[in-house]
Every structure is written in structure tokens, then in C-alpha cells.
Chains A and B, each alone.
Chain A
Amino acid sequence: GENVEQHPSTLSVQEGDSAVIKCTYSDSASNYFPWYKQELGKRPQLIIDIRSNVGEKKDQRIAVTLNKTAKHFSLHITETQPEDSAVYFCAAAPSGYSTLTFGKGTMLLVSP
């Protein structure tokens, strides 16, 4: 089955810096890659996603890139703010399956 590795597990940045979280996947047939943000004590919420026919997608300060050849995708957050502090999960959708395989999460801490 699909396996998703996520790095780093913890990331500390200063406000205004950029943050990058990287994920690799094992199933070359996976075709959908969402990113979720989970604030403390709350549910994970989708922040951005990308499909395998697209190499990059942006939404204001957030961007996701996908390299199908290398089987990795990354979340980029620019001009980080304290409210960006949360746990971020990447995921991959194996072809033909109704489930998502999640990475183990990255705790992002943005210091003022």
C-alpha cells in the first residue's frame, strides 16, 4: 500500500520567515495530494491540494509543489505569522482507493 513520509516533525521559524514541509510517497499511481492544518484541539482542515496533472498551485501565502518523477510534494508558507502555528499533515490518495494515506504531521511554531 501507499506510504507517506513527512519531514520535519517540528519546525520553528521567526515571524516573516518562510517555512517548507516536505513529503514523499511510494505509490506512483497516487493522483491527489491534500494538505491539512490542525490547530490545537481542533479538527484538521484542508488548506490546499494538488492533483497529479499539476506541478504547482498557489493560494495567497501558501503554495504546494509536486514532483511526480521523484514522488515528493512540498508545502511552502511565505511571510509566516503566529496564527500559522499548527500541525500540518500531508496526504496522498492511492489510485483506486477511497482513503487518504496521511503523513505523521509537522508541528510548525512561528515566534513573534
Chain B
Amino acid sequence: SQTIHQWPATLVQPVGSPLSLECTVEGTSNPNLYWYRQAAGRGLQLLFYSVGIGQISSEVPQNLSASRPQDRQFILSSKKLLLSDSGFYLCAWSARTTGNTIYFGEGSWLTVV
């Protein structure tokens, strides 16, 4: 069966510091991969999605970036965090074809102080 792992689970970072969140998927090949952000009490905001290695689509202009160095690895980064970057970050995957269920990782709580 397929599993998705995301880490770290929680982190507290000062403003201006870098960020790296990592996600890996097991049990499937060529998945679509996603990064979502959820501010406290808010909806799911799609940040990036990827249909293949090195292919990244950005949905929202911001100081975050994403990379997919391997088929089942997705990384969210920032060079300098802002207070507004605080939130719950969710990695997710779906099968390669369109119109499929998205499965979420357990999420990473980021607090920028």
C-alpha cells in the first residue's frame, strides 16, 4: 500500500531564517505531488504541484519554492521566512492520471517568530 511521510512535524523558526520541509511517498511510481498550506482556521491553499521530476507548477507567488529531485521526493523551501509563512503545511500525492483522490501527509506545523 502507498504511504506518505512528511517531516519535521513541528518547527519554530525565527523571521529571516531558511526553511526546508521534506516529503516522500512509498508504494507508488510517478505520483503527482503537492504542497498545501493551511492558516489557522482557514481553508486549503495549493502552493505547488508537480507531475514529474523537475516539473514544478506554482499556484501562489511568494517567498517559497519547491523542488522534486527524485520521483517520490518533494521539498518545500524558503531562503528567508516571514511571519505570514506560519501555518500547517501539508504534502500530498495522487496517481498520475487526472481526476484522482489526493492523499495528504500528516502535516508540518510551522511557527515563525
Q: Which residues of A contact B (CB under 8 A)?
A: 31-32, 34, 42-46, 49, 51, 89, 91, 93, 95-100, 102-105
Contacts and interface: CB of A to CB of B under 8 A. Distances in A.
A52 B44 CA distance: 23
Contacts of B105: 43
B51 interface: yes
A18 B67 CA distance: 44
A34 B101 CA distance: 7
Max chain A Cβ within 10 angstroms of own Cβ: one of B96, B99, B100, B101: B99
B104 A45 contact: yes
A32 B104 CA distance: 17
A28 to B, nearest CB: 14
B35 to A, nearest CB: 12
A26 to B, nearest CB: 16
- Which 5 pairs between the two chains have the least Cβ-Cβ distance? A32-B99, A43-B104, A104-B43, A93-B99, A102-B44
A98 B104 contact: no
B94 interface: yes
A44 B98 contact: no
